[in-house]
Chain A
Amino acid sequence: MASILIQFAHPALQKSRVNSALLEAASGLDKVTVCDLYELYPNFLIDVELEQAKLSSHDIIIFQCPMYWYSVPALVKEWFELVLERGFAYGEGAHLLTGKKVMLAASFGGMEADYLGDPPNVIPLDQLISPIRQTMQFCKFNWLPPFVTFDADRADASRMTSLDAVYRYILVGLRDNAFGMDALNPLVPINHQLTLQVN
């Protein structure tokens, strides 16, 4: 069994529906650690050593957060800048992260069809999140296809129930190494590639 670290970030969880539900779904799973970054670092003073230790002691890292303006919340960006430092995450002698898997679990406000490259979003989804992917691959992470929730502003209860189940199914599958990773397309959301198997 692989260990999973969910780095959760939401600047206003009290207003959230999608992410709070997904967080709920992920909590309590065996070998899955959930960290609420905005709760840990409300004044952005990230404990770099602690965060690096957390990375070292887990096999799969998941960044779960809402996407605003096509990117991760500010604290996650800050986290990248401080924790993924030279000598630890990249550069000479840095191989602690090599081969660990990383996944972005992101919620978007628009429909799936809004992210295909047509105006107003002229850049397709896989390219929108490419800076994050590039960052992770630079640090020798194994990039998993992202877990994406579309139309997150209007998620109703029934859709949330099925979404929670899929998220939980994927987390457990990753933990137990149940998926044939080579068959997955890194550009297509993982929940779209694996939903069929749920049904």
Chain B
Amino acid sequence: MTPRQKRMAVVALLLAGVATAVGLGLTAFQKNLLYFYTPTQVSGGEAPTGYPFRVGGLVVAGSVRRDPDSLTVHFSVTDGPATLPVVYTGILPDLFREGQGIISVGQLNAAGVFEATEVLAKHDENYMPPEVAAALEQSGQRVPNYKEYQK
């Protein structure tokens, strides 16, 4: 091979590599993006059914109800105007409590209940998930002072 051909071979290899990487990246992206919806958007029918997404809001006070003999727990999240019922089986995070801002990953079932596969509450009690803060602001709610919830 002449040096020129060699160089072209290297360039071709590089291009092929980059193309494969981009292709893999884009497919992985398509399959694994999770969109965030507020309870208001969900009640407005904007959220998909049969496809996972994330939802966030404050846990409604008095809504947490546990099954007597399994690990299933029911609760609702709200962003002010709308409330979404959630069902989850498993261990809730340490900082999960009523009034706390949480984010949950899961799917909407036919009955309009959000079946969560994951519930996230942040480790710093002063910390509000940005999505939840934005959702509350959008619906004209005052972002609560977490210190007050502690007491």
Question: Is the pairing of A and B real?
Answer: no
